[in-house]
Structure 1
């Protein structure tokens, strides 16, 4: 409030400014008085209380290394993601497992949610026992496997 010598708010406060934290939309009035208290004027101000959005980032996901996944948030008007992206949906291809945080904004109020993207480092293993061989009875054949880090032959070797 400005322009008066003294003030009276509907809360009972008599200061020029007040701080309020209503739990629901509330209208406040202030009456400003001149120095003599003979003249006054009253005005009102409405403080609207908006509920925060209910933001959902979706369930946690697991992807293979090198793959991508689209993450979609719901429940707000606009969105900001922890990787700097904006919008309800983002496509990511993380090289390691990580958690993404999305902040949803509606009516000036914010809420957050997180989604975990787990990256598995699957390696395609293709076992190759080599070409078929023919040997004479009593001879031996050397078999060489490729495609793995360790091997287990049917002979147990």
Structure 2
């Protein structure tokens, strides 16, 4: 099992998409996020997305898939409502109608820096998870740990 980052959880999960789209795909819109995250080979093999392949793979490993534009809008509504009710500012301002986003602070946010680093390198494995490997060539045909 992959080790998942311990920030931007719950309503803030949509921030991962903002980092993906801005830092790796160079757009300030979440309009095509479900398509990019679909995992379709024709999308993943597109030359324009080559620099984003590791980030896309990591996002899918972190189970952060919003599969439709409606699910993205729902995530944005939760994010905006969460920060409105708590009288806080999120890392991004996200327009639920246009799906465009921008940073709330023009200076580099440390969470964005961390997210960019996490998405650009393979996620580490949890060391406490045991994997069972079944070997058909073993004498008893059983699984080993």
Q: Which range, TM-score by smaller chain?
A: under 0.3
Question: Greater CA radius of gyration, 1 or 2?
Answer: 1
Q: Highest relative contact order (Cα 8 Å, sep 6+), 1 or 2?
A: 2
| Structure with greater helix share of residues | 2
Q: TM-score, structure 2 length as denominator?
A: 0.21
Q: TM-score, structure 1 length as denominator?
A: 0.20
